[in-house]
Amino acid sequence: MNIDTEYLPSTLFLFVINNKKITGDNIKDDNKHSLKLLEKIVYKNESENNTLVSFLINSNINIGFIDASTEGKELPDKTAGVGLARKIGMDYSLNLFDFHKNIKMILICLDADCSISENYLTVIIESFNKKNINAAVIKYEHNINKNDNETEAIICYEIFLRYYHLGLLYANSTYAFPTIGSAMACDVESYILVEGMNKRKAAEDFYFLEKLAKSFKIHEIKNAVVYPSERRSWRVPFGTGQRVGRFLSNEKDEYILHDPLSYDILKKWLSLFLNDNENNMENVISKAKIISPHLYDYLNEQKFINIMNGIIKNSKTKKQLYNQKLKWFDGFKTLKLIHYLRETAYPEINMFDALDELFKMLNINFEIKRKKETIPSLDTQKKYLIEMRNYIYK
């Protein structure tokens, strides 16, 4: 195992082995195998000739597990999913910290099929302590070194993710950060303040980070890397595994993205809405109509004037009002606006046309000049993605 060892003695790797009652035998069998392996490590059983078990037993790695898999311990069918699994692990971890020590107590989310950079623990722990971070997302990169169909799928999906991130960066949104469940962390204090992880079966990462962002700055840790698995999966209704599976089944055209004009409208709207000197909501919504009649319609659907007048009435200072504005027009309302513009005025366009236009808007000098083909070669697609990564992690 290639990992910095300095913080291993003070770190616990807690596995939540889970499935619901109605689960295929293959999943249950895999989980039984995982539990047996973990039991041998935790109880230091070297009776079998297993190199991995022996290595982990004799290392400084602290491992624990929660059995939410065997019969009678399964997750409830109604709520079983990635959100509940994360919540079980994170909530239980609160019992294991020494609250008398004056150090950062950090909860880090990682999926079992991920790989990490060697400096993963060191960078995260030292970033939290030296910069007094409350919440963070960690740099992530899918493996794009191959040239097979799965690599095509994951490049397409990562471009989709990073395009939305870049669009929000262009718009100067507070919620411009990636929401990858296997690449997020927070300290115990912030976890408790936002009342912990949710039980969502998908998008648990989006809503958890959104809650954190309403009270804390979401930092980006760029010097450690998580490498998520690119495998297809049916276990969640959307996300990496589902998107890879959908791409490979040719269900729909995956090479489309939101029209970049949507992000220009968002940018103008945020500049107007968050202006400290513009707090007459009748004036604000009139100016929003000039930016875009579709933005105006969206705000009316959200009961903008009534809600904002109530917020203004209950805000005693400019800072309080500004924070309440950010909490009202949150990550979810931002996403809903982009989707509303897509459905009413600006339909999705070719992925690479959208990228070329957004690169111009961000003043990214992309040297690769694409030919007129709708979908360029895989090598060119990789260059687009690398350019996006470079901009985000500069």
Q: How confident is the model over 295-331, as pLDDT tens digits?
A: 999 999 999 999 999 999 999 999 999 999 999 999 9
61 within some domain: yes
Domains in the chain: how many in total? 2
Domain that holds residue 64: 1-80
DSSP-derived letter for residue 74 is P
pLDDT tens per residue across span 369-392: 777 789 999 999 999 999 999 999
C-alpha Rg value of the chain to the nearest Å: 23
280 within some domain: yes
65 within some domain: yes
Structure tokens at 207: 């809503």
Among 20, 45, 80, give the residue marking a domain's end. Answer: 80
**What does pTM read for this prediction?**
0.93
| Closest by Cα among 340, 350, 346 to 253 | 350
155 within some domain: no
pLDDT tens per residue across span 91-141: 999 999 999 888 899 999 999 999 999 999 999 999 999 999 999 999 999
Among 34, 51, 80, give the residue marking a domain's end. Answer: 80
275 within some domain: yes
% of the chain residues with pLDDT over 90: 80
pLDDT value of residue 237: 46
pLDDT tens per residue across span 172-228: 999 999 999 999 999 999 999 999 999 998 899 999 999 999 999 999 999 999 999
- DSSP H or E segment with residue 128: helix 120-130
Among 25, 51, 80, give the residue marking a domain's end. Answer: 80
* Mean per-residue pLDDT, 61-84: 95
Give start and end residues of each alpha helix (H) in 187-260: 188-193, 204-213, 240-248
